[in-house]
Structure 1
Amino acid sequence: MIPSFQTTFAVPLSCESCIKDVSTSLYKLDGITNVSADLKAQLVAVEGTTAPSAIVSAIQSTGRDAILRGSGGSDSAAVCILETHSKSVLDQVRGLIRMVQVSPTMTILDISIRGLTPGTYHATIRANGDISRGPESTGSVWEEQLPKSRGILGTLEISKSGMGSVFLDQPIQIWELIGRSVVVSKVKSGKFDREDPDTLVGVIARSAGVWDNDKTVCSCSGKTVWEERKEQADRGML
């Protein structure tokens, strides 16, 4: 059973009616136990056992966008942007994995992908984080030699629309994952084709915990989170 955890989202809110609309939509999801909002800060906090991607979709169904700003406690969240290394693909970003450690022995992984050929895909954590040559340089599956390798995350189905998602849990901790890579492919292991547009790779990086990141303007670029969101969406980010 997955323990309850908290996530925060930046959401454009203009009044109390906005908060009511968003809350009503979220409470329709299984696993949501509490929703609270800060109108001034434009933030919505959600507690429960629901996948962050499902929460984003529910908020978007109200006509508003949502950006995940933090998950779990400090140093207990990570993210992995999945890209193809095929030169035949213009927009190489194809997916995103959000990771939250919800207990000392469990991390949940929320995988969302689009733009792939329909079929069954394998998601695996690799031994190292070198993606300079795509999947070819990521090394073997993490803990591949063990009977129950924690590096084998599971499978997800890509529909005819080219989209797919899965919500998984593994007996791993965030600190063990930082700097490693993830491969999502129709091939579980062995020889990969770097030019295969349906094989995705990404490096696992630490991300903010709940309330660790409430900035609405990037100090580096001066852009708002919504301006950055549009740029990311244009690149194929989910």
Structure 2
Amino acid sequence: MLTSKLEVLVDFGATADQKLVDKTLNELKSHDGVVEAVFKDGAIMVETNLPSTNILDMVTKTSGKRAVLQGFGETQSAVAMISSQSCCQSRVMGVIRFQQSTEGPLVADGSIDGLSSGLHGLHVHDTGDLSQGCNSIGGHYNPLGAPHGAPSDEVSSRHAGDLGNIVADETGRATFRIVDNVLKVMDIIGRSVAVTDKKDDLGRGSSPTSKIDGDSGKPVACGIIARSAGIFQNPKRICACDGVVVWDEKDRPLAGRGRRVEKKSCCQKDKENSGEFQRCCKV
């Protein structure tokens, strides 16, 4: 069983309630697929083979507190924030994290919202060029010049970037954890990852594009793959530039409109909350 280690930062406050911490840890440990869960340096470290989104949901529901994935993996890690890049009428957004041990397979762990229900192809593409949105990311990452195939195919019978299909439920969310023996994290940093509007036929179809892209259609969302922090490698709790704490940051854009709380500066008293400071100032 290939596991990953996750660092889950939870908004327990300045002094964590030990009973609440223990309750959260015990709930995690009660689930199959969770090997270990410990509270360390103000965060919960979880070793698991479950998707990180499932772990975050468990922590949030059990503790009643805000939680965010602060670190993923112990060694080589990367992340892609994907979106529809204004390419489509629908709004698709998500996060995909990549992690790899020194000599082990790659793990692609993600959650994407806004998809139509059903199967969608997932592929790593050649470039990280988003100048024309998802139209400028090139073809599938394919250093050996192989035909398109399935993740289970031999290296000579698939693109290195072929990650198969993910499944979106009736709400449009796809949560997944893919283990791949071909891709290497250090080879894909700076490239892009995309999800397509149709399912990937894995190179088994009769369409002329089956051996090119699995007849999976155009990307509906994409993003650049960037290096990211492993567990306990990122001490950030608050963004000094705008006062947004890490728990709130995950629900806001990286910059621009909507990033900060409108009409209130950090540490300004909130009249609607009996003169107390906004929570953005509490770390």
TM-score for the superposition, normalised by structure 2? 0.72
Instruction: Determine the structure 2 residue equivalent to 1:227.
Output: 248
Is 2:173 the partner of 1:163? yes
Say if 1:120 and 1:191 are closer, same or farther in 2 by CA, change over 3 A.
closer
Instruction: Determine the structure 2 residue equivalent to 1:116.
Output: 115
Alpha-carbon contact 1:81-1:93 (below 8 Å) kept: no
What does residue range 52-131 of structure 1 map to in structure 2 within 5 Å? 52-62=52-62, 63-74=64-75, 76-86=76-86, 92=91, 94-131=93-130
Question: Comparing both chains, which one has the higher relative contact order based on Cα–Cα distances under 8 Å and sequence gaps of 6 or more?
Answer: 1
Percentage of matched positions with identical amino acids: 27
Cα shift at 1:93: 5.5
Instruction: Determine the structure 1 residue equivalent to 2:204.
Output: none
- Choose 53-62 or 180-189, whichever is displaced more: 180-189
Alpha-carbon contact 1:135-1:192 (below 8 Å) kept: no
Gapped regions of structure 2 (runs ≥ 5): 147-156, 201-212, 260-283
Distance 1:127 1:167 in 2: 22
Q: CA RMSD in A?
A: 2.5
Gapped regions of structure 1 (runs ≥ 5): none
Distance 1:93 1:186 in 2: 11
What is the SS of the residue equivalent to 1:8? strand
What is the SS of the residue equivalent to 2:252? helix
Cα shift at 1:131: 1.7
Instruction: Determine the structure 1 residue equivalent to 2:195.
Output: 184
What is the SS of the residue equivalent to 2:81? strand
Cα shift at 1:232: 5.0
Alpha-carbon contact 1:150-1:170 (below 8 Å) kept: no
Say if 1:133 and 1:8 are closer, same or farther in 2 by CA, change over 3 A.
same
Cα shift at 1:87: 6.2
Instruction: Determine the structure 1 residue equivalent to 2:162.
Output: 152
How many pairs does the alignment contain?
Answer: 226
What does residue range 203-214 of structure 1 map to in structure 2 within 5 Å? 203-214=224-235
Alpha-carbon contact 2:92-2:220 (below 8 Å) kept: no
Question: Would you tell me which structure has more strand in proportion to its own residues?
Answer: 1
- Choose 202-211 or 128-137, whichever is displaced more: 128-137
Alpha-carbon contact 2:116-2:168 (below 8 Å) kept: yes
Cα shift at 1:5: 3.1
What stretches of structure 1 move > 6 A for 4+ residues in a row?
none
Alpha-carbon contact 2:87-2:134 (below 8 Å) kept: no
Aligned amino acid, residue 79 of structure 2:
V
Alpha-carbon contact 1:95-1:111 (below 8 Å) kept: yes
Cα shift at 1:114: 1.1
Distance 2:71 2:119 in 1: 30
Deviations 1:72-101 (A, max 9, x none): 224x111111100236658x5511101111
Aligned amino acid, residue 162 of structure 2:
I
Alpha-carbon contact 1:104-1:173 (below 8 Å) kept: no
Aligned amino acid, residue 84 of structure 2:
T
